[in-house]
Amino acid sequence: MFGPAQLLRLLHINRVLVRRGLDEIVFATHLFRPVGFLRHLLPWNWLPRHHLDLPRGARIRLALEDLGPIFVKFGQMLSTRRDLLPDDIALELAKLQDQVPPFPGEQARTIIERAYGQPWETVFEDFSFQPLASASIAQVHAARLRGGREAVVKVLRPGIEKIIRRDIDLLYIIATLAQRYWKEGRRLRPLEVVAEYEKTIFDELDLIREAANASQLRHNFKDSPILYVPEVFWPETRRNVLVMERIYGIPVGDVAELHRRGVDMKKLSERGVVVFFTQVFRDSFFHADMHPGNIFVNAEDPDDPRYIAVDFGIIGTLSPTDQHYLAENFLAFFQRDYRRVAELHIESGWVPGATRVDEFESAIRTVSEPIFDRPLKEISFGGFLLTLFQTARRFNMEVQPQLVLLQKTLLNIEGLGRQLDPDLDLWKTAKPFLESWMRDRVGPWAVIKRIKYFIPRWADQTPDLPNLVYGLLRKANAGELAVQLHKQEMEQLRRDLRRANRRNFHATVGAALIVSAALLFSLGIPQPVGFWPAPLLAWVLAGLGAGLLLGAWPKDV
């Protein structure tokens, strides 16, 4: 199971755990509890260890920092997994800083010249070999392109892929043991957690992918007054070298400087919330690493501050289904409709379909009602999601990676917003956005857009239908199609067919009414149609058509 390199690394890990007093945590686990008495026989326990008075979370954080950058990043990811960790450990791991000593500038020059296949002077007019910042995966240098444009150059650490692979293999071994011997292993799926971390960290090694993320986010917020994304210089970008426009701004965590500049903090905090919800619900493409080190503020006009984002290695996305259920969850929660929250979790598949709605509703009410004793401005969206996930855990909710990433980002945004403006009312800022988004999703024009989207697909598939039906009938006639149905299944099939026929009829009539309404709008008929003014008739037809279509739409879509 262990190769020589992994064995040496494991010995180093054990030494760090002992030095940080974590052997007592290991022996207190379910797996080692029967032999816990052996801990007192170990030589290092014969001497006093003063650091044992630190809380366990602090000792774990210090151990991860001792183990190096890969374990630091793993701890950062675990800090977002409140479904896996007790709160005291998760909060302590959130303090992990991804800062390591820089590697020499000469090595950066070698990497750059190898990537370009030519001396750095042919690409840059100037290049600073003293890094601006250094992290576990890469470091950043200032430069000036040919032509005079200022840039930042992100360079991957030399040999980082080999180091990551060694530690990832070791994490897989530990996760395998945990899944085999830990009673919570099957539900918390440690192997999948490590696999998720492996994908995330190896994605960060591909700087072309990060450049593509930045380019997409820049396109999404083109000409936006609230968020600026630096330009990617594609001709100079390689897999291990990323070149972007250099930006200047105030670090968002430097609240004292923002106040000194007279920045409108209320507007700035509200814009942070709008940026987040726009990314999640409008674009389904959100910056998932929005800690203060990656966010700056352009304060040239203090009354109209603008955010600047950097570091696009971690990006989150949501499916349309997840978007819909998430928005409904927020709205139902703040309307205190706990039954709807429970139903949404079941409908979305986040908890098993056999879950009793009334029991789940009662559990959600128990943890949610105390929240409403506080002013709305004190209610945390991120805390709400965390509460829901912890409650749903008792009902066998499986880990939803995309929602966990969203929760991490939302907690970052909330903490940032309230650091800038302690009186920020997150709900007041977000509610109009969510309600508008929901109207756009279920209104008549949303139905028309959906039909317009699917028409080309239906047109492509329609010519094949006769052949498909013919082939099916031919197989049935030749005895090649065996169908066995029990009486109960036949009855269910009949019910499904009847429902399908009704839906098809309603959908056909609804579509015809909406098309008629669209024609009335587009033709701009001035005279009344019968006793009805043309615009009013168009709206009535559209409403009737939308109602029929929404009634015909399958509930599981």
Report the alpha-carbon distance of residue 419 to residue 415 in Å, rounded. Answer: 6
Per residue in 329-340, pLDDT (tens digit) is 878 877 888 898
pTM of the model: 0.69
pLDDT of residue 544: 63
Nearest to 406 by CA among 341, 351, 359, 350: 350
The DSSP bridge partners found for residue 298 are 306
Alpha-carbon torsion 100, 105, 109, 110, what sign? negative
pLDDT of residue 92: 79
CB of 260 closer than 8 Å to CB of 250: no
Maximal CA-CA distance, the chain: 99
CB of 359 closer than 8 Å to CB of 333: no
Q: Is 521 exposed, middle or buried (0-12, 13-18, 19+ CB in 10 A)?
A: middle
The DSSP bridge partners found for residue 126 are 144
The terminus-to-terminus CA distance of the chain in angstroms comes to: 46
pLDDT of residue 36: 47
Contacts (Cβ under 8 Å, ≥6 apart) of 47: none
Q: Helices (H) and strands (E) in the chain — how many of each?
A: 22, 11
Contacts (Cβ under 8 Å, ≥6 apart) of 487: none
pLDDT average per 10 residues of sequence, the chain (557 residues): 63 71 57 46 50 76 79 74 69 71 89 93 93 87 93 92 83 76 64 79 89 96 94 95 95 90 92 89 86 88 94 86 81 84 84 85 84 65 71 73 74 79 78 76 62 64 68 69 52 63 61 59 53 58 59 47
Report which residue type is found at 161: E
Name the DSSP letter for residue 156. Answer: E
pLDDT of residue 263: 93
pLDDT of residue 524: 54
Any alpha helices (H) in 335-425, and if so which ranges?
A: 338-347, 357-368, 381-393, 401-420
Copy the structure tokens of residue 149.
Answer: 């444009």
pLDDT of residue 367: 78
Copy the structure tokens of residue 533.
Answer: 């003014």
Report the alpha-carbon distance of residue 343 to residue 329 in Å, rounded. Answer: 10
Residue reference for tokens 């942070």: 272
Copy the structure tokens of residue 14.
Answer: 């054990």
The DSSP bridge partners found for residue 150 are 144
Nearest to 406 by CA among 325, 526, 462: 325
Q: Which residues are known catalytic residues? A: 289
H helix or E strand, kind and range, residue 138: strand 138-145
Report the alpha-carbon distance of residue 55 to residue 63 in Å, rounded. Answer: 13
> How many other CB atoms are found less than 10 A from the CB of residue 132?
14
Copy the structure tokens of residue 471.
Answer: 């082939």
Nearest to 389 by CA among 376, 375, 402: 402
Report the alpha-carbon distance of residue 290 to residue 407 in Å, rounded. Answer: 12
pLDDT of residue 282: 86
pLDDT of residue 307: 95
CB of 306 closer than 8 Å to CB of 343: no
pLDDT of residue 168: 85
Report which residue type is found at 380: S
Q: What letters, b where the CB count within 10 A reaches 16 and e where it falls short, cover 6-35?
A: eeebeeebeebbbbbbbbbbebeeeeeeee
Copy the structure tokens of residue 97.
Answer: 């800083």
